Structure 1
Amino acid sequence: MLRPRSIRTRYTMMATALSLLFLVTIGVSVDLATRYRVEANAFEDTKAVASQWSAAVRNGSVPHTLPAMTRVNLIQIVDADGHVLQASKQAWNRPPISTVHPPSNDRFQNITSCEPGRGCVLLMAIRVTPAANSPVVYAGLPEPSILATCWLELGLFTCIVLILAFVAWITWTLVGRTLRPVETIRARMSEITGSDLSLRVPLPPGRDEIAMLARTANQTLDRLEIAVKQQRRFASDASHELRTPIAGLRVALEDAIAHPEDVDAQETLRTALSTTNRLEAIVSDLLVLARLRASDPEPPEPIDLGALAKEASTGRIDTVPVHVNATGDVRVSGCRSQLMRVMDNLLNNARRHADSSVEVTVGSENGQAVVSVTDDGAGIDPHDRERVFARFTRLDDARRRDPGGTGLGLAISREIVEAHGGTLKVEDSPRGARFVMRLGAMTDSGRPGNRL
């Protein structure tokens, strides 16, 4: 069985089918009830007339021609032999309208008598007395046209067809009007391509499901546009950052092959190794960024930020010393390995720019865990404080102090912190640069507190 593809068609057919079932049930009920009521009324009238003349027969006061006072105009008094004794004017010139002779134990009988060429008659037959030779009074009327013809059924059928047509039209119109915004959304979505994500679907009025669908679609397109822009920018920056060391490595190797007598082979190998190390670092950081966006988050666990800072500050004794000052038990809920990477990145950045020491403070403030990493170096200009978190951004001082850096450490750190519902910023400091990380601190119940 073929199923219509259009929702509008399916709903119209469904509404029409249900209406047809309901209307047919109602129509049959109305038809049967009407026929029963008309027939019952007719028999009531014939019974009243037949009873009246039955009493008159018993009293011996029956005229030769029986007057018809109501619509019951077929009246006959027939003896036991089937001879018409008295009759109404309309029933004199016809044989007995019925041959049914009620028995003595059932003197009243409703009869429908049909004769060729005369139609059918609804009548009441009453046996006057229980005696064997008792006459019978017949009182009848022609079958009403509503019972004798199909006009009732034809009228009901016409009403059903008209109502079905109205229901189908109403359903088709309302469903079409309801789905019109969906068609508009579909047409607009078909215009959106990967090269142009600026289009948005029109928002229908109201707050129904279709309006919510349109808002969700626009929100999804917003996120998709941001993600595509980030991906394109990231791909452009990554290709630029990778192209430079690869080009330098190629030039050095080609020069060593073309002029082996003029090139120091050991120096060329050391340069190639250094360039390879930088490429490896860039690729490693790129993989970290890709995992942060693509992978499912790890199950959170309680983390003591003071202990984490002390752990990250140990292990490297040949660098600038790090002093950790942890106040109280400051815990957050998150991924330990990711927050450890943030702490390592911040400490490595601080060591790289510090003159003599790095200070780490861990505390809580307004329901938040606050970690600040401060060095005593030259600091960061206010107009560069946001730029340092951009991917592949390296200030002149950073290039001078660490030529092999990738420029991705702080970008990775901010993405990790934001994924944990926190913030990472550069704030004012009397000397040097001060990086401040804020996360929602865990309460006594074990739940994260307020987050920015």
Structure 2
Amino acid sequence: MSTWHRCSIRTRFTVVASTVMALICTVAAVFALVAVRKAVVEDRTQRLVIHAVDMARQIRQSGVSPRMLSDGHNEAVQVFDPADTPVAATPGFSAREPPITNLRPDVDAYTVVRLCDLHAFPGQCKIVISYPLHRADGVWLLNMAVADVPWYVGPRLLASLAAGWLLLVGMTAAGTYRTVSKTLEPVGAISGKLAQITASDLGHRVPVPKYRDELRDLAEIANKTLDRAQTAVEQQLRFASDASHDLRNPLAAMRVQIDEALMYPKETDWPQTANALLDSMERLQDLVTDLLQIARLDAGISSRHDPVDLTGLVTAELDRRPRRVAVIRRLTPGVVIDGERIGLVRLLNNLLDNAERHADSAITVTLTLEADTAVLEVCDDGEGIAPDQQEVIFQRFARLEASRRRDAGGTGLGLPIARQIAETHNGTLTLEDSPRGARFVLRLPGRAAPPADHARTPTKV
């Protein structure tokens, strides 16, 4: 990992923001220097032209005087007669020097140029004007030169731009570092609170920032995740407690029966004791099987889903063994779904066993295909379930009073397992209203519509 990626987020943001601001300030400073220098050059050139015009006017009127040349504005001046003979020059600049420039302007116009490394000014750049002036004896030539404007214009301007550059970049760096630090404060608080959370203490929640932004969304999602985790852990703890309780009951019953038989071996009816132990072992086996099924469903383990003829599957399970009550069938032929056959068999048998347990005289099994959805209804004509208990029955180990009276050995896991199997098939299992008894409705995605020529005929078994 590079050094850059090892830096903190605030450091990287600060460096990036400062670099961008430095580039912007540099470009702005360059443009400012170019604009100011252009303005200063134009002003200096204009002043040079004005001075040349004024000096030419004086020469035409009264000739050349030393005072005229000494009163210049830091310009170097040369005056040549019509024979190109030097007539006068500024002090310190010999009149015998060759012309500053060899420009020969038109007699009715002047010429202004920028020249460097002139013989009279080596290593320097000058703004030079060559101005013709008309006198009675011919056309005289006035050459004037003034220092060019340097690229930085002047020390004061360069210092001002440098100070502004440093100030803006520094303020950007400080502001970015502070802003990012303030922005990341909730992240630090969230991290600190998450570090305190353990599997045995899920009651903590991360602080939620007051501003409605992405960090607030993150904190709310984290709290919702912790809520789900806490609910799941509490559910697992309750599940473990309920499972251990239900496992302990048949084991305790078996132990009591064995102890009693051993205490009075001659008076014990061993076949009866063996049958009682087999009943307890069967209950224990059913409970372990249900627990393994729930563990398998919770882990998301499922076999491959293949096309299943649901009509044939329901028919086969209804014919597999007789029931203590009549079974009324209303099955639509040709209902096919994608599913796991073993899981669907377990789901159907759980519903049928539950209906048989609570029915008074009959169970009605209905299978239809509605809008590409297979709908299986299992109804009984028993006491029914109170509205406030319709979701309780799908909780693990939940057993209503009526269920305990009819089957004291139940595990309370049949309906929860059935609903989980339905959900693994992208379906639903609900308890819906019925004129009498309980009506469980299973909905699963179907594969094909039923043939139109089949009729549903009620039959009793």
Band the TM-score falls in, shorter-chain normalisation: 0.7 to 0.9
User: Which consecutive residues of structure 2, in runs of 5 or more, have no partner in the other structure?
Assistant: 106-110, 134-138, 451-461
Identity across matched positions, percent: 32
Change in Cα spacing, 1:366 to 1:123, as seen in structure 2 (3 Å) is closer
Q: Deviations over 1:326-369 (max 9, x none)?
A: 36877777665444322211112223444554222335789976
Give CA deviations for 1:138-165 in whole Å, capped at 9, x if unaligned: 4234566985753322211100011112
Instruction: For residues 375-432 of structure 1, give each alpha carbon's deviation from its aligned partner in whole angstroms, at most 9, with x where no partner exists.
Output: 45566677765544332244566556656542211221233345645342264554xx
Cα offset for 1:278? 2.7
Instruction: Mark the CA change 1:227 to 1:207 in structure 2 (over 3 Å): closer, same or farther.
Output: same
Aligned pair in 2 of structure 1 residues 275, 82: CA closer, same or farther (>3 Å)? farther
Aligned counterpart for 1:30 among listed residues 32, 40, 47: 32
Q: 1:436 to 1:330 in 2, by over 3 A?
A: farther
Give distance in 2, aligned partners of 1:27 and 1:329.
82
For residue 216 of structure 1, the aligned residue among 221, 230, 239 is 221
User: What secondary structure sits across from 2:320 in the alignment?
Assistant: coil
Q: CA deviation at 1:243?
A: 1.9
Q: Does 2:18 align with 1:16?
A: yes
1:286 corresponds to which of 288, 291, 295: 291
Q: Specify whether residues 228 and 98 from structure 1 end up closer, same or farther in structure 2 by C-alpha distance, changes over 3 A only.
A: farther
Q: Distance in 1 between matches of 2:113 and 2:148?
A: 17
**Residue equivalent to 1:450:** none
The one of the two structures with greater contact order (alpha-carbon pairs below 8 A, sep at least 6) is 2
Over 3 Å counting, the alpha-carbon distance change for 1:428 and 1:144 in structure 2 is: closer
Matched, 1:155 2:160: yes
Mapped to 2, the partners of 1:212 and 1:445 lie a distance apart of 45
Q: Which of residues 168, 173, 177 is equivalent to 2:173?
A: 168
* Aligned equivalent of 1:434: 438
Task: Determine helix, strand or coil for the equivalent of 2:126.
Answer: strand
- What does residue 422 of structure 1 align with? 428
Cα 1:370–1:434 change in 2 (3 A) is farther
1:321 and 1:356 in contact (8 A); partners too: yes
Structure 2 contact 367–375 (Cα < 8 Å) conserved: yes
Find the aligned partners of 1:368 and 1:160 in 2 and give their Cα distance.
71
Alpha-carbon distance between aligned partners in 1 of 2:407 and 2:249, rounded to the nearest angstrom: 16
Q: Which residue of 1 is the match for residue 77 of structure 2?
A: 76
CA distance in 1, matches of 2:165, 2:304: 64
Q: State the AA in 2 paired with 1:2.
A: T
Query: Structure 2 matches for 1:308-319, cutoff 5 A?
Result: 308-317=313-322, 319=324
Q: What is the RMSD computed on CA atoms of the aligned residues?
A: 4.7
Distance 1:258 1:71, change over 3 A: farther
Q: Cα distance 1:384–1:43, how it changes in 2: closer, same or farther (>3 A)?
A: closer
Query: Which moves more between the two structures, 71-80 or 154-163?
Result: 71-80
Q: Which amino acid aligns with 2:331?
A: A
Q: Distance in 1 between matches of 2:391 and 2:226?
A: 27
Correspondence 1:42 to 2:41? no
Please report the TM-score for the alignment, with normalisation by the length of structure 2: 0.73
The answer to whether 1:102 aligns with 2:127 is no
Equivalent-residue separation in structure 2 for 1:32 and 1:98 (angstroms): 35
- Deviation, 1:35, is 3.3
Q: Give the residue type in structure 2 aligned to 1:92.
A: P
Letter in 1 for 2:240: A
Map of 1:31-430 to 2, 5 A cutoff? 31-39=33-41, 41-43=43-45, 45-46=47-48, 49-50=51-52, 62-65=63-66, 67=68, 72-77=73-78, 85-87=87-89, 91-95=90-94, 101-103=100-102, 110-111=114-115, 122-124=126-128, 126=130, 137-141=142-146, 149-204=154-209, 208-252=213-257, 270-295=275-300, 306-317=311-322, 319-326=324-331, 337-354=342-359, 356-363=361-368, 370-376=375-381, 386-394=391-399, 398=403, 402=407, 404-417=409-422, 420-425=426-431, 427-430=433-436
Equivalent AA in structure 1 for residue 65 of structure 2: H
Alpha-carbon spacing, 1:228–1:139, altered in 2? closer, same or farther (3 Å): same
Distance 1:232 1:68 in 2: 108
Question: Residue type matched to 1:422 in 2?
Answer: T
Structure 1 residue 104, shift from structure 2 partner: 6.5
The answer as to whether partners of 2:323 and 2:356 remain within 8 angstroms in 1 is no
Larger mean CA deviation between 18-27 and 319-328 belongs to: 319-328
Amino acid at match of 1:9: T
Q: Is the 8 A contact 2:360 2:381 kept in 1?
A: yes
Range 187-196 or range 365-374, more displaced: 365-374
Structure 1 residues 364-373 or 188-197, which shifts more?
364-373
Using the TM superposition, give the Cα deviation of residue 311 of structure 1 relative to its aligned residue in structure 2, in angstroms. 3.2
**Residues 164-189 of structure 1, C-alpha deviation per residue, up to 9 Å, x if partnerless?**
12222332343334334433433443
Unmatched segments (≥5 aa) in structure 1: 447-452
